[in-house]
Structure 1
Amino acid sequence: MKKTIITSTLALGIGATGLVAGHSANAAENNVDQSKLAQQAQSNSNQLNESPVQKGSYNYNFNQDGTNYNFKSDGTNYTWSYNGYNNGSQEDTNQAQQTSNSGQSQQQAQPQKEQSQQQAQPQKEQSQQQAQPQKEQSQQSTSSDESASSNASSSGSSSDVNGHLKQIAERESGGDTKAVNASSGAAGKYQFLQSTWDSVAPSEYQGKSPTEAPESVQDQAAQKLYDTEGASQWVTA
Protein backbone atom coordinates (compact mmCIF):
# COMPACT_ATOMS: atom_id res chain seq x y z
CA MET A 1 0.00 0.00 0.00
CA LYS A 2 1.03 3.64 -0.30
CA LYS A 3 0.79 5.92 2.64
CA THR A 4 0.62 9.63 1.84
CA ILE A 5 0.33 12.62 4.16
CA ILE A 6 -0.44 16.04 2.74
CA THR A 7 -0.50 19.23 4.79
CA SER A 8 0.16 22.92 4.42
CA THR A 9 2.98 24.97 5.76
CA LEU A 10 0.53 27.86 6.13
CA ALA A 11 -1.01 26.07 9.08
CA LEU A 12 2.44 25.78 10.58
CA GLY A 13 3.12 29.48 10.57
CA ILE A 14 5.56 29.40 7.68
CA GLY A 15 5.27 32.49 5.49
CA ALA A 16 3.81 32.10 2.03
CA THR A 17 5.00 35.34 0.46
CA GLY A 18 6.59 33.37 -2.34
CA LEU A 19 8.20 30.08 -3.10
CA VAL A 20 11.60 29.59 -1.60
CA ALA A 21 14.31 28.26 -3.86
CA GLY A 22 13.62 24.58 -4.33
CA HIS A 23 15.65 21.46 -3.71
CA SER A 24 14.80 18.66 -6.07
CA ALA A 25 17.32 15.88 -5.85
CA ASN A 26 18.21 12.65 -4.23
CA ALA A 27 18.12 12.95 -0.47
CA ALA A 28 21.69 11.70 -0.20
CA GLU A 29 22.93 14.50 -2.40
CA ASN A 30 21.51 17.06 0.04
CA ASN A 31 22.96 15.43 3.12
CA VAL A 32 19.48 14.38 4.27
CA ASP A 33 19.41 11.78 7.06
CA GLN A 34 17.54 9.08 5.14
CA SER A 35 17.39 6.66 8.07
CA LYS A 36 15.82 9.31 10.32
CA LEU A 37 13.22 10.27 7.70
CA ALA A 38 12.40 6.60 7.04
CA GLN A 39 11.99 5.93 10.77
CA GLN A 40 9.75 8.99 11.17
CA ALA A 41 7.63 7.90 8.21
CA GLN A 42 7.30 4.35 9.51
CA SER A 43 6.22 5.61 12.95
CA ASN A 44 3.93 8.26 11.46
CA SER A 45 5.82 10.85 13.45
CA ASN A 46 3.96 13.99 14.46
CA GLN A 47 7.03 15.96 13.44
CA LEU A 48 6.47 15.02 9.80
CA ASN A 49 2.80 15.95 10.11
CA GLU A 50 3.41 19.25 11.85
CA SER A 51 6.25 20.66 9.76
CA PRO A 52 8.04 20.05 6.47
CA VAL A 53 11.44 18.45 6.32
CA GLN A 54 12.90 21.90 5.66
CA LYS A 55 11.82 25.33 4.52
CA GLY A 56 11.30 26.01 0.87
CA SER A 57 10.52 23.58 -1.91
CA TYR A 58 12.15 20.17 -2.13
CA ASN A 59 11.66 16.75 -3.63
CA TYR A 60 13.54 13.89 -1.98
CA ASN A 61 13.28 10.32 -3.20
CA PHE A 62 15.23 7.39 -1.79
CA ASN A 63 15.00 3.65 -1.13
CA GLN A 64 15.57 2.26 2.35
CA ASP A 65 15.51 -1.49 3.04
CA GLY A 66 13.43 -2.17 -0.05
CA THR A 67 10.90 0.60 0.70
CA ASN A 68 10.62 3.70 -1.46
CA TYR A 69 10.21 7.04 0.36
CA ASN A 70 9.22 10.41 -1.06
CA PHE A 71 9.23 13.80 0.66
CA LYS A 72 8.04 16.77 -1.40
CA SER A 73 7.15 20.47 -0.86
CA ASP A 74 6.37 23.39 -3.15
CA GLY A 75 7.08 25.90 -0.39
CA THR A 76 3.42 26.03 0.65
CA ASN A 77 2.12 22.47 0.72
CA TYR A 78 4.22 19.45 1.55
CA THR A 79 3.71 15.68 1.42
CA TRP A 80 5.50 12.54 2.46
CA SER A 81 4.80 8.96 1.47
CA TYR A 82 6.24 5.48 1.28
CA ASN A 83 5.38 2.19 -0.44
CA GLY A 84 5.45 -1.35 0.82
CA TYR A 85 4.45 -0.60 4.40
CA ASN A 86 1.98 -3.23 5.65
CA ASN A 87 0.38 -1.17 8.43
CA GLY A 88 -1.86 1.77 7.66
CA SER A 89 -2.80 4.79 9.76
CA GLN A 90 -4.78 4.42 12.99
CA GLU A 91 -7.94 5.17 11.02
CA ASP A 92 -7.09 2.39 8.53
CA THR A 93 -6.41 0.02 11.42
CA ASN A 94 -9.73 0.86 13.10
CA GLN A 95 -11.55 0.40 9.80
CA ALA A 96 -9.86 -2.94 9.25
CA GLN A 97 -10.82 -4.04 12.77
CA GLN A 98 -14.43 -2.94 12.21
CA THR A 99 -14.53 -4.87 8.93
CA SER A 100 -13.09 -7.92 10.66
CA ASN A 101 -15.56 -7.63 13.54
CA SER A 102 -18.44 -7.21 11.09
CA GLY A 103 -17.37 -10.31 9.20
CA GLN A 104 -17.06 -12.24 12.46
CA SER A 105 -20.52 -11.09 13.56
CA GLN A 106 -21.99 -12.23 10.25
CA GLN A 107 -20.26 -15.59 10.59
CA GLN A 108 -21.62 -15.96 14.13
CA ALA A 109 -25.11 -14.86 13.07
CA GLN A 110 -25.22 -17.38 10.20
CA PRO A 111 -24.97 -20.51 12.40
CA GLN A 112 -27.55 -19.01 14.79
CA LYS A 113 -29.91 -18.42 11.87
CA GLU A 114 -29.33 -21.94 10.58
CA GLN A 115 -29.83 -23.33 14.09
CA SER A 116 -33.12 -21.44 14.45
CA GLN A 117 -34.28 -22.79 11.09
CA GLN A 118 -33.28 -26.32 12.09
CA GLN A 119 -35.18 -25.99 15.38
CA ALA A 120 -38.23 -24.55 13.65
CA GLN A 121 -38.34 -27.36 11.07
CA PRO A 122 -39.01 -30.22 13.56
CA GLN A 123 -41.64 -28.07 15.29
CA LYS A 124 -43.34 -27.45 11.95
CA GLU A 125 -43.18 -31.14 11.09
CA GLN A 126 -44.51 -32.04 14.54
CA SER A 127 -47.41 -29.61 14.12
CA GLN A 128 -48.21 -31.11 10.75
CA GLN A 129 -48.06 -34.62 12.22
CA GLN A 130 -50.39 -33.60 15.05
CA ALA A 131 -52.76 -31.91 12.64
CA GLN A 132 -52.91 -34.96 10.37
CA PRO A 133 -54.54 -37.34 12.92
CA GLN A 134 -57.02 -34.61 13.85
CA LYS A 135 -57.88 -34.16 10.19
CA GLU A 136 -58.20 -37.90 9.71
CA GLN A 137 -60.32 -38.18 12.87
CA SER A 138 -62.56 -35.38 11.63
CA GLN A 139 -62.91 -37.08 8.25
CA GLN A 140 -63.70 -40.40 9.91
CA SER A 141 -66.29 -38.72 12.15
CA THR A 142 -67.87 -37.02 9.15
CA SER A 143 -67.82 -40.29 7.25
CA SER A 144 -69.52 -42.06 10.17
CA ASP A 145 -72.18 -39.37 10.38
CA GLU A 146 -72.81 -39.58 6.65
CA SER A 147 -72.94 -43.38 6.85
CA ALA A 148 -75.46 -43.28 9.69
CA SER A 149 -77.52 -40.72 7.83
CA SER A 150 -77.39 -42.84 4.70
CA ASN A 151 -78.47 -45.93 6.59
CA ALA A 152 -81.35 -44.07 8.23
CA SER A 153 -82.45 -42.71 4.87
CA SER A 154 -82.32 -46.10 3.19
CA SER A 155 -84.27 -47.76 5.96
CA GLY A 156 -86.73 -44.90 6.20
CA SER A 157 -86.48 -45.02 9.98
CA SER A 158 -87.76 -42.12 12.05
CA SER A 159 -86.40 -40.89 15.37
CA ASP A 160 -89.73 -39.31 16.34
CA VAL A 161 -91.19 -42.49 17.81
CA ASN A 162 -91.33 -42.71 21.60
CA GLY A 163 -89.96 -45.61 23.60
CA HIS A 164 -93.37 -47.19 24.19
CA LEU A 165 -94.11 -47.31 20.46
CA LYS A 166 -90.79 -49.01 19.85
CA GLN A 167 -91.81 -51.73 22.30
CA ILE A 168 -95.23 -52.02 20.63
CA ALA A 169 -93.63 -52.38 17.16
CA GLU A 170 -91.34 -55.09 18.47
CA ARG A 171 -94.30 -57.04 19.93
CA GLU A 172 -96.61 -56.54 16.95
CA SER A 173 -94.24 -57.36 14.06
CA GLY A 174 -90.72 -57.66 15.40
CA GLY A 175 -90.06 -54.36 13.61
CA ASP A 176 -90.90 -55.81 10.18
CA THR A 177 -92.45 -53.10 7.98
CA LYS A 178 -93.74 -55.73 5.55
CA ALA A 179 -95.44 -57.96 8.13
CA VAL A 180 -99.09 -58.97 7.40
CA ASN A 181 -101.50 -60.81 9.72
CA ALA A 182 -103.23 -63.41 7.56
CA SER A 183 -106.28 -63.68 9.82
CA SER A 184 -107.02 -60.03 10.65
CA GLY A 185 -105.40 -58.34 7.67
CA ALA A 186 -103.42 -56.02 9.96
CA ALA A 187 -100.23 -54.96 8.21
CA GLY A 188 -97.00 -53.08 8.57
CA LYS A 189 -94.61 -52.44 11.42
CA TYR A 190 -97.42 -51.49 13.80
CA GLN A 191 -100.04 -53.92 12.38
CA PHE A 192 -102.53 -51.25 11.30
CA LEU A 193 -106.03 -52.29 10.24
CA GLN A 194 -106.75 -50.63 6.88
CA SER A 195 -109.44 -48.31 8.31
CA THR A 196 -107.16 -47.16 11.11
CA TRP A 197 -104.27 -46.69 8.69
CA ASP A 198 -106.34 -44.53 6.36
CA SER A 199 -107.26 -42.26 9.29
CA VAL A 200 -103.65 -41.37 10.18
CA ALA A 201 -101.62 -41.99 7.01
CA PRO A 202 -100.65 -39.20 4.57
CA SER A 203 -103.12 -38.77 1.73
CA GLU A 204 -100.79 -40.35 -0.83
CA TYR A 205 -100.74 -43.59 1.18
CA GLN A 206 -104.41 -43.76 2.13
CA GLY A 207 -106.20 -46.72 0.51
CA LYS A 208 -102.89 -48.55 0.21
CA SER A 209 -101.47 -51.23 2.45
CA PRO A 210 -99.22 -49.87 5.24
CA THR A 211 -96.53 -52.21 3.93
CA GLU A 212 -96.17 -50.00 0.85
CA ALA A 213 -95.21 -46.97 2.94
CA PRO A 214 -91.61 -46.33 4.06
CA GLU A 215 -90.78 -47.06 7.67
CA SER A 216 -90.57 -43.35 8.49
CA VAL A 217 -94.14 -42.83 7.25
CA GLN A 218 -95.35 -45.81 9.31
CA ASP A 219 -93.54 -44.39 12.38
CA GLN A 220 -95.18 -40.99 11.92
CA ALA A 221 -98.61 -42.50 11.48
CA ALA A 222 -98.14 -44.65 14.61
CA GLN A 223 -97.01 -41.67 16.64
CA LYS A 224 -100.00 -39.65 15.43
CA LEU A 225 -102.39 -42.41 16.46
CA TYR A 226 -100.62 -42.79 19.81
CA ASP A 227 -100.83 -39.04 20.48
CA THR A 228 -104.55 -38.83 19.68
CA GLU A 229 -105.91 -42.20 20.87
CA GLY A 230 -103.26 -43.50 23.23
CA ALA A 231 -101.70 -46.96 23.46
CA SER A 232 -105.13 -48.64 23.81
CA GLN A 233 -105.23 -49.05 20.02
CA TRP A 234 -102.74 -51.95 20.34
CA VAL A 235 -103.59 -55.12 22.21
CA THR A 236 -99.92 -55.76 22.95
CA ALA A 237 -99.51 -52.37 24.60
Structure 2
Amino acid sequence: MHGDNVVEKSGRMPWYQGSPLLYALETVYIGSDANHVDPRFPVQWVIRPNSDDHHDFRGFAGRVAGGVFKVGDEVLALPAGLRSRVKALHGLMDTPAEIFSPMSAVMTLEHEIDVSRGDMLVKPNNVPHTGRDLEAMICWFSATKLQPGGRYVVRHTTREAKCVLKEVRYRVDINTLHRVVGDREIGMNDIGRVHLRTAASLFYDAYKRNRNTGSFILIDELTNNTVAAGMILEPGGVEAVAGAELEMGGL
Protein backbone atom coordinates (compact mmCIF):
# COMPACT_ATOMS: atom_id res chain seq x y z
CA MET A 1 0.00 0.00 0.00
CA HIS A 2 1.73 3.16 -1.25
CA GLY A 3 -1.25 5.48 -1.58
CA ASP A 4 -1.14 5.49 -5.37
CA ASN A 5 -3.55 7.92 -7.04
CA VAL A 6 -4.80 9.23 -3.71
CA VAL A 7 -3.29 12.74 -3.86
CA GLU A 8 -1.29 12.69 -7.10
CA LYS A 9 -1.37 10.57 -10.24
CA SER A 10 0.84 7.52 -9.97
CA GLY A 11 3.20 6.22 -12.64
CA ARG A 12 2.77 2.72 -11.26
CA MET A 13 -0.78 2.53 -12.60
CA PRO A 14 -0.46 3.49 -16.29
CA TRP A 15 -3.72 1.72 -17.13
CA TYR A 16 -5.68 4.20 -14.97
CA GLN A 17 -6.43 7.45 -16.82
CA GLY A 18 -8.74 9.05 -14.26
CA SER A 19 -8.08 11.76 -11.67
CA PRO A 20 -6.62 11.12 -8.18
CA LEU A 21 -9.08 10.33 -5.40
CA LEU A 22 -8.64 13.63 -3.53
CA TYR A 23 -9.28 15.69 -6.68
CA ALA A 24 -12.38 13.64 -7.48
CA LEU A 25 -13.78 14.18 -3.97
CA GLU A 26 -13.12 17.93 -4.07
CA THR A 27 -14.67 18.50 -7.50
CA VAL A 28 -17.61 16.08 -7.56
CA TYR A 29 -20.85 17.88 -8.44
CA ILE A 30 -23.29 17.96 -5.52
CA GLY A 31 -25.59 20.78 -6.61
CA SER A 32 -28.36 18.35 -7.49
CA ASP A 33 -28.47 17.05 -3.90
CA ALA A 34 -30.38 20.13 -2.70
CA ASN A 35 -34.09 20.49 -3.40
CA HIS A 36 -34.93 24.10 -4.35
CA VAL A 37 -38.46 23.29 -5.52
CA ASP A 38 -40.41 22.14 -2.45
CA PRO A 39 -40.34 24.72 0.41
CA ARG A 40 -39.74 22.97 3.74
CA PHE A 41 -38.73 24.68 6.99
CA PRO A 42 -38.63 22.31 10.00
CA VAL A 43 -38.77 24.39 13.19
CA GLN A 44 -35.89 23.59 15.50
CA TRP A 45 -36.46 26.21 18.19
CA VAL A 46 -38.87 29.00 19.10
CA ILE A 47 -36.95 32.13 20.13
CA ARG A 48 -38.59 34.41 22.70
CA PRO A 49 -35.94 36.63 24.36
CA ASN A 50 -38.36 38.07 26.97
CA SER A 51 -36.20 41.18 27.25
CA ASP A 52 -37.09 44.87 27.33
CA ASP A 53 -35.49 45.41 23.92
CA HIS A 54 -37.32 42.48 22.28
CA HIS A 55 -40.37 41.97 24.46
CA ASP A 56 -42.65 41.03 21.53
CA PHE A 57 -40.14 39.10 19.40
CA ARG A 58 -41.13 35.54 18.45
CA GLY A 59 -38.95 33.87 15.86
CA PHE A 60 -38.73 30.33 14.54
CA ALA A 61 -35.20 29.03 14.12
CA GLY A 62 -34.31 26.19 11.79
CA ARG A 63 -32.51 25.03 8.69
CA VAL A 64 -34.21 25.15 5.31
CA ALA A 65 -34.77 21.57 4.17
CA GLY A 66 -36.00 22.48 0.70
CA GLY A 67 -37.22 25.23 -1.59
CA VAL A 68 -37.01 29.00 -1.16
CA PHE A 69 -38.73 31.32 1.34
CA LYS A 70 -39.02 35.08 0.77
CA VAL A 71 -40.34 37.94 2.86
CA GLY A 72 -44.07 38.24 2.15
CA ASP A 73 -44.54 34.58 1.19
CA GLU A 74 -47.65 32.86 2.51
CA VAL A 75 -46.79 29.86 4.68
CA LEU A 76 -48.75 27.00 6.18
CA ALA A 77 -47.85 25.61 9.62
CA LEU A 78 -48.05 21.84 10.04
CA PRO A 79 -49.71 20.12 11.83
CA ALA A 80 -51.89 23.05 12.98
CA GLY A 81 -52.95 23.96 9.43
CA LEU A 82 -52.80 27.70 10.20
CA ARG A 83 -51.65 30.25 7.64
CA SER A 84 -49.58 33.40 7.89
CA ARG A 85 -46.98 35.36 5.93
CA VAL A 86 -43.24 35.74 6.37
CA LYS A 87 -42.67 39.05 8.14
CA ALA A 88 -38.87 38.98 8.28
CA LEU A 89 -35.88 36.68 7.89
CA HIS A 90 -32.80 36.83 10.11
CA GLY A 91 -29.42 35.29 9.34
CA LEU A 92 -26.33 35.20 11.51
CA MET A 93 -25.08 38.64 10.44
CA ASP A 94 -27.83 40.06 8.21
CA THR A 95 -31.52 40.06 7.28
CA PRO A 96 -31.71 38.33 3.88
CA ALA A 97 -34.65 38.86 1.55
CA GLU A 98 -34.81 35.12 0.89
CA ILE A 99 -33.48 31.87 2.30
CA PHE A 100 -32.98 28.49 0.64
CA SER A 101 -31.58 25.04 1.39
CA PRO A 102 -29.30 24.47 3.29
CA MET A 103 -29.31 27.91 4.98
CA SER A 104 -30.00 28.30 8.70
CA ALA A 105 -32.16 31.26 9.68
CA VAL A 106 -34.80 32.68 12.00
CA MET A 107 -38.22 33.39 10.51
CA THR A 108 -40.84 35.71 11.99
CA LEU A 109 -44.48 35.69 10.91
CA GLU A 110 -47.12 38.39 10.64
CA HIS A 111 -49.58 36.52 12.87
CA GLU A 112 -49.29 34.87 16.28
CA ILE A 113 -49.97 31.24 15.38
CA ASP A 114 -49.23 28.08 17.31
CA VAL A 115 -45.85 26.77 16.11
CA SER A 116 -43.36 24.75 18.17
CA ARG A 117 -40.29 22.55 17.78
CA GLY A 118 -40.94 19.66 15.40
CA ASP A 119 -43.54 21.56 13.38
CA MET A 120 -42.90 22.44 9.74
CA LEU A 121 -43.55 25.60 7.73
CA VAL A 122 -44.38 24.99 4.06
CA LYS A 123 -46.14 26.72 1.16
CA PRO A 124 -49.93 26.14 1.02
CA ASN A 125 -49.76 25.02 -2.62
CA ASN A 126 -46.85 22.63 -2.05
CA VAL A 127 -47.27 20.41 0.98
CA PRO A 128 -45.41 17.22 1.95
CA HIS A 129 -46.98 13.86 2.63
CA THR A 130 -48.48 13.60 6.10
CA GLY A 131 -49.01 10.28 7.80
CA ARG A 132 -48.13 7.70 10.42
CA ASP A 133 -47.47 4.71 8.14
CA LEU A 134 -44.12 4.73 6.34
CA GLU A 135 -42.56 2.42 3.80
CA ALA A 136 -38.79 2.73 3.98
CA MET A 137 -35.46 1.17 3.11
CA ILE A 138 -33.23 0.93 6.18
CA CYS A 139 -29.62 0.04 6.90
CA TRP A 140 -29.29 -1.69 10.28
CA PHE A 141 -26.38 -0.60 12.51
CA SER A 142 -26.89 -2.57 15.70
CA ALA A 143 -25.38 -5.92 16.69
CA THR A 144 -28.82 -6.76 18.08
CA LYS A 145 -31.00 -7.94 15.22
CA LEU A 146 -34.08 -6.03 14.18
CA GLN A 147 -37.19 -7.19 15.98
CA PRO A 148 -40.50 -7.11 14.05
CA GLY A 149 -42.97 -5.53 16.44
CA GLY A 150 -40.09 -3.79 18.21
CA ARG A 151 -40.57 -0.29 19.57
CA TYR A 152 -38.18 2.49 18.62
CA VAL A 153 -37.97 6.28 18.41
CA VAL A 154 -37.88 7.78 14.92
CA ARG A 155 -36.05 11.09 14.51
CA HIS A 156 -37.10 12.85 11.32
CA THR A 157 -35.94 16.43 10.62
CA THR A 158 -36.61 18.17 13.98
CA ARG A 159 -39.49 15.89 14.93
CA GLU A 160 -39.36 12.80 17.14
CA ALA A 161 -42.03 10.16 17.62
CA LYS A 162 -42.29 6.68 19.03
CA CYS A 163 -42.85 3.99 16.44
CA VAL A 164 -43.47 0.29 15.97
CA LEU A 165 -41.74 -1.73 13.29
CA LYS A 166 -44.79 -3.49 11.91
CA GLU A 167 -43.23 -5.69 9.23
CA VAL A 168 -40.05 -6.55 7.36
CA ARG A 169 -41.02 -6.76 3.69
CA TYR A 170 -37.74 -8.25 2.50
CA ARG A 171 -33.97 -8.11 2.85
CA VAL A 172 -31.67 -6.94 0.05
CA ASP A 173 -28.66 -9.01 -0.99
CA ILE A 174 -25.92 -6.37 -0.94
CA ASN A 175 -23.86 -8.29 -3.51
CA THR A 176 -26.54 -8.69 -6.18
CA LEU A 177 -29.08 -6.03 -5.01
CA HIS A 178 -31.76 -8.69 -5.44
CA ARG A 179 -34.63 -8.95 -2.99
CA VAL A 180 -34.53 -11.90 -0.61
CA VAL A 181 -38.21 -12.25 0.22
CA GLY A 182 -37.92 -15.50 2.15
CA ASP A 183 -35.24 -14.18 4.53
CA ARG A 184 -36.61 -11.34 6.64
CA GLU A 185 -33.97 -11.40 9.35
CA ILE A 186 -32.15 -8.06 9.47
CA GLY A 187 -28.78 -7.96 11.23
CA MET A 188 -25.85 -5.55 11.41
CA ASN A 189 -25.09 -3.84 8.06
CA ASP A 190 -28.09 -5.50 6.40
CA ILE A 191 -30.42 -3.52 4.16
CA GLY A 192 -34.13 -4.16 3.96
CA ARG A 193 -37.54 -2.72 3.31
CA VAL A 194 -39.78 -2.20 6.34
CA HIS A 195 -43.17 -0.85 7.31
CA LEU A 196 -43.19 1.57 10.25
CA ARG A 197 -46.11 3.04 12.16
CA THR A 198 -45.46 6.16 14.21
CA ALA A 199 -47.36 7.46 17.23
CA ALA A 200 -47.55 10.96 15.70
CA SER A 201 -47.82 12.08 12.09
CA LEU A 202 -44.65 12.95 10.18
CA PHE A 203 -44.37 15.47 7.35
CA TYR A 204 -42.19 13.89 4.71
CA ASP A 205 -41.20 13.60 1.06
CA ALA A 206 -39.72 10.59 -0.67
CA TYR A 207 -35.95 10.42 -0.26
CA LYS A 208 -35.59 10.39 -4.03
CA ARG A 209 -37.18 13.86 -4.12
CA ASN A 210 -35.77 15.44 -0.96
CA ARG A 211 -32.93 13.90 1.04
CA ASN A 212 -33.61 16.08 4.09
CA THR A 213 -37.30 15.35 4.53
CA GLY A 214 -36.98 11.82 3.16
CA SER A 215 -34.45 10.47 5.66
CA PHE A 216 -34.61 9.46 9.31
CA ILE A 217 -32.83 7.50 12.02
CA LEU A 218 -34.18 4.91 14.45
CA ILE A 219 -33.17 5.04 18.11
CA ASP A 220 -33.46 2.24 20.64
CA GLU A 221 -35.79 3.38 23.44
CA LEU A 222 -33.84 1.57 26.16
CA THR A 223 -30.20 2.24 25.23
CA ASN A 224 -30.64 5.49 23.28
CA ASN A 225 -28.34 4.02 20.61
CA THR A 226 -28.90 4.80 16.94
CA VAL A 227 -29.79 1.42 15.44
CA ALA A 228 -30.70 2.29 11.83
CA ALA A 229 -30.80 4.95 9.13
CA GLY A 230 -33.66 4.99 6.67
CA MET A 231 -34.87 6.43 3.39
CA ILE A 232 -38.60 6.97 2.95
CA LEU A 233 -40.23 5.62 -0.20
CA GLU A 234 -42.89 7.34 -2.26
CA PRO A 235 -46.26 5.99 -1.10
CA GLY A 236 -47.22 3.31 -3.62
CA GLY A 237 -44.27 4.11 -5.90
CA VAL A 238 -42.59 1.07 -7.49
CA GLU A 239 -39.88 3.13 -9.19
CA ALA A 240 -38.92 4.75 -5.90
CA VAL A 241 -38.36 1.33 -4.34
CA ALA A 242 -35.87 0.29 -7.01
CA GLY A 243 -34.11 3.64 -6.79
CA ALA A 244 -33.77 3.42 -3.03
CA GLU A 245 -32.30 -0.07 -3.26
CA LEU A 246 -29.64 1.21 -5.65
CA GLU A 247 -28.90 4.17 -3.35
CA MET A 248 -28.52 1.87 -0.34
CA GLY A 249 -26.40 -0.57 -2.32
CA GLY A 250 -23.93 2.20 -3.05
CA LEU A 251 -23.34 3.01 0.61
Shared fold per TM-score greater than 0.5: no
- Structure scoring higher RCO (CA < 8 A, sep ≥ 6) equals 2
Pair member with larger Rg: 1
Normalized per residue, which structure has more strand? 2
Structure 2 length normalisation: TM-score? 0.18
Normalized per residue, which structure has more helix? 1
Structure 1 length normalisation: TM-score? 0.18
